[in-house]
Amino acid sequence: MKKTTLAFLGILLTSFCLAQTYTTGTMELYNQNDDVFTARVDVTSTLVTLTLVGPDNSYLGFGFGTQTMGSGGDVVLFYDDVDTPAEDFQLSDRKFIGTGPVPEVDTHQDWTLVSNTLENGQRTVVGTRVLDTGHDDDYVFSTSDSSLDFAWAIGSSYELKRHSARGGSMQSFTLSQDTFTLSDFVMTPNPGLSKFELRLPSGVSNVKLQVYDVLGKNIFSKILTTLSTTVDVSKWNSGVYLVRVTSNNGSQTKRFVKQ
């Protein structure tokens, strides 16, 4: 396996599996005419994970350390750059330059798009960034139960000049308490050739299974309604996959090897 692949797996596993995490929890920012926009920020000692969920016909914007779009605030935008179709969907690291103008692109693009999934018209975007980039235009996150000022916007389309709604507020960080630990769900057989069985511990609810290949592409998603689920992997390419199990209070990830 190439060194770049190993490095990528290391980054993803770090982002998913570090034990102590401070979180804002899921914040509902906008809910109107069946369009719902939520955001969640999780912070470990080394990594920030931003999860945005919104309609699949709009850009999603979230800013840190400010409750307004005044000059200087740090913001990340998820959108589809229609002028450069080769890039498609992307996370763009920017800064506010005042209310009205499109936020200015930062010299350093520090956010990594980990996953981008679509289900029933709602898009879930997960991005990560190191805690402190060392760049003056990036917000420095706290690794304690502090608070976060934030601003947000949801687009009326993917065109960044127009939005349906915007706002700002503050949310406290609290210590995340996962309902299960990394060793609590079981995949067998692993390695596997045609299928694997995933077994969950008793007491968990609202569980979602997601599988990613080594390039970070989501290749499989399923809502789990039973404690035992069989996944058909016969058509998957041989290699290493990341199996992520998410409940209301957190997520855990393990590696699966397809023979």
Q: Give one DSSP letter per residue of 13-80, joined into a string.
A: HHHHH-S--EE---EEEEEETTEEEEEEEEE-SSEEEEEEEEETTS-EEEEES-SS--TT-EEEEEEE
Strand order in the sheet with 228-232: 186-188, 195-199, 228-232
Flag whether pLDDT at 95 surpasses 90.
Answer: yes
Among 58-62, 157-161, 182-186, 209-213, the minimum mean pLDDT is found in 182-186
pLDDT at 54: 92
pLDDT (average), residues 223-252? 84
pLDDT at 202: 65
* Number of Cβ atoms within 10 Å of the Cβ of 153: 25
pLDDT at 228: 85
pLDDT (average), residues 157-162? 75
pLDDT at 179: 47
pLDDT at 118: 84
pLDDT at 205: 64
pLDDT at 16: 46
**Placement of tokens 């509902």 in the chain:** 28
In this predicted model, what pLDDT tens digit does every residue of 161-208 receive, in sequence order? Answer: 777 889 999 988 876 655 455 456 888 998 999 999 998 876 666 788
Among 7-16, 55-64, 146-155, 183-192, the minimum mean pLDDT is found in 7-16
Flag whether pLDDT at 237 surpasses 90.
Answer: yes
Flag whether pLDDT at 88 surpasses 90.
Answer: no
Flag whether pLDDT at 248 surpasses 70.
Answer: no
pLDDT at 18: 43
pLDDT at 15: 45
pLDDT at 23: 85
Q: Which two tokens stand for residue 139?
A: 């917000």
In this predicted model, what pLDDT tens digit does every residue of 102-122 receive, in sequence order? Answer: 899 999 999 999 888 888 888
Q: Kind and range of the H or E element at 90? A: strand 89-95
Q: Is the dihedral of CA 26, 15, 129, 5 positive or negative?
A: negative
All domains in the chain, ordered by first residue: 22-172 (2.60.40.1210), 186-258 (2.60.40.1930)
Return the amino acid letter for 43.
V
What percentage of residues in the chain have a pLDDT greater than 70?
A: 83
CA distance 116 to 176: 23
Flag whether pLDDT at 68 surpasses 60.
Answer: yes
In this predicted model, what pLDDT tens digit does every residue of 20-33 receive, in sequence order? Answer: 778 888 889 999 88
List CB contacts of 143: < 8 A, sequence separation 6 or more. Answer: 22, 43, 44, 45, 131
Flag whether pLDDT at 47 surpasses 70.
Answer: yes
Flag whether pLDDT at 4 surpasses 60.
Answer: no
Taking phi over 0 as left and psi of -120 to 50 as alpha, with beta for the rest, 111 belongs to beta
